[in-house]
Each structure stands twice: as C-alpha cells, then as structure tokens.
Amino acid sequence: MLSEIPPAISLPAGMLLLWAGAELLVRGASHLAAALGVSRLVIGLTLVAFGTSLPELMVSLTAGIRGEPGVVLGNVVGSNIANIGLIVGLAALLRPIAVQHRVTRREIPWMLIAALLTVPLAVDGGLGRGAGVILMGTFGLYLTFFFWASPPTGSEPEGEPLSKAWAVPLGLAVLGLGLLITGAPLFLNGAIAVARAVGISELVIGLTLVAVGTSLPELATSVVAALKGQSDIALGNIVGSNVFNVLLILGATVTVFPIEVPSLALWRDIPAMLILSALLLPVCRTGFTVSRLEGVLLLCLYGLYLAWLFLS
C-alpha cells in the first residue's frame, strides 16, 4: 500500500513523521530513564538505539526476501557511515556533544569490534549463515557485557524533572517509535522510486538513499537530543545503532538470507566504515567533547566519501 503513494506525498510526509517521532522518543526516553533510575546513556545505547535501528532491520529483511544483496549490505554499511559522518557531524555542528569517559573505554571499542568483524567474514565474497551466527553470537556477548558493566543508576542533568510515573514517558517513547517506523518506509519508498527512475544501481541505492533514509530516525533523534543538550542520547543512539546494525541486523538477515558481497564493497565501503569508526575514538577523546570544528571535519569526510562513491 505504501508503495502506491506518490513520492511527492511520501517524501515530505515521511520526514514529518520522523521528526515528530524523534521528538516524542527523546522526551519519553529521557523521562523514562529518570523515572526508572537508569542513566540516559544506557537508554540511548539500548532503547533508543534499537528503536531507531528498526527501519534498517525491516529494509534489510525485505531486501533479503527480494534477493537484493547490494541493498542489504549497502543499507548496513552505508547507515553506519552516515551515522558517524553525517549525523554525529551535524549534531556536533549544531551543538558540541559532551562525551562520557565510559563511551570511549567501552561502547566505541565494541562498535569497532563489530565493524572489524565484517572484514574476515566477508573477505571470501559472501556472508552466509555461519557468518550470521557469529555476528549474532557477538551481539549476545555485547548485551551481556553491556548490562554487566552498566551501573544501575546514573546522575541526570540539573533541571530535568524526576517523574515517579513511568507509564506516560513509556507511552511517549512507544508512540515516537511508532511514528519513526511509519515515517521511515514512507520516505524510503519515495526516495527509491526517484532513484530508480534515474537509473541508480542497487549497491549505490543501498549505500546512499536507503542508508540515509533508514538513518533518518537516528538523524532526527540525535539532532533533537543535541539541541536539547542531551548528549548521552545524541551520541549513545549513534554508537548503539552502529553496533545493532552490524551484529543484530546484518547478522539476523544473512542467517536467513545469505548474500554475496560485491567486490566494490570490500575495498571501498567497508574500509570507509572502518576508518570513520576508528576516527570517532580520537574525536571523542579530545577534551571528551565532539566540537563544532570536529563536526565539520566529519561532515567533510562524509562528503568526500559520497564523491568517491559516485566517481568510482
């Protein structure tokens, strides 16, 4: 049904739903964290990260069913590249992002591990069920380590009201997720219709329009969180989403639908994901703040990657 909606309607409608969903999700998650005594970083790395990664999961599974391996891999790899280069860069440009020490010691290293795993698993030109089991098993280890190492409570920024009721913020978060999940395919269908009309290849569609389209929830959520000064959610959402994308989404998809890995992805796109993932660590450790200048740097690198993508 959604595919029958004209792009002129689905594109703006999808964007509107994504922004509204992000606003509700950030507000609900923030108050839910306070009500339950859980730090915003934990909420950002789990609830928000998984919620904003749902579009990637749905698109990847749909592409797997349709036999479109370029879209499956391009969606995950391209989304991770866009999450760091485009989204962290834009969020930092709008407002510098404060970074907790534990993010550089634990969460970003896990994101690097997830990205590095794709190299030996995909080097033979394919991702089969065995690779999927390894990725999902690593995801289980990540969740175990994450909850074992996470403190039960966290200090919240001053001025944020502590609500004893969790039902209302939970409802807001669920409603926000619903709007995000509805808005993403609306935007995506319109974008893909336009792309195919001008003859863009499957891999490029996956790495650009599909990747950015499914990353719009992360973009909207992180930008809204950054503007509200909620750096834990803004950065935690991105780091958590990148881990979810590789270990859970790619792992679950290739476990059910093994895919071939295009040679271009092996020497161009996966290395680009690794470089940006590795670069995020020193960027976050410089004063434990992602500054506006560093945001500009990330945006410029993303622009260079897009230029490289279309030129190659």
Task: Quick: pLDDT tens for 205-240.
Answer: 888 888 887 787 888 888 888 888 888 778 888 998
Q: What does pLDDT average to over the chain?
A: 84
Which domains, ranges and CATH numbers included, belong to the chain? 2-149+164-311 (1.20.1420.30)
Residue of higher predicted confidence among 207 and 200: 207
For residue 44, the model assigns a pLDDT of: 67
Per-residue confidence (pLDDT) for residue 213, from 0 to 100: 79
**Pick from 217-226, 241-250, 277-286: least confident:** 217-226
- pLDDT tens, position by position, 122-136: 998 899 999 999 999
Instruction: Say which amino acid occupies 2.
Output: L
Classify 312 as helix, strand or coil: coil
Q: Which amino acid is at 233?
A: I
Are the C-beta atoms of 232 and 94 separated by less than 8 Å? no
pLDDT value, residue 26: 73
Split at pLDDT 50, 70, 90, the class of 157 is very low
Task: Using alpha carbons, select from 234, 235, 254, 242 the residue that is nearest to residue 214.
Answer: 242
CA 97 to CA 148: how far, in whole Å? 26
In angstroms, the Cα distances linking 77 to 31, 131, 159, 163, 183 are 32, 16, 38, 39, 21
CA atoms within a 13 Å half-sphere pointing along the CA-CB vector of 229: 5
For 45, the token pair is 């790395």
What pLDDT does residue 97 have? Answer: 92
d(CA 170, CA 48): 12
**Mean pLDDT across the stretch 91-97?**
92
Q: Which residue has the tokens 């890995």?
A: 261
pLDDT for position 93 = 93
Distances (CA, A) of 9 to 6, 58, 188, 190: 6, 21, 12, 8
**Would you say residue 164 has pLDDT above 60?**
no
Q: How confident is the model at residue 18 (pLDDT cuts 50, 70, 90)?
A: confident
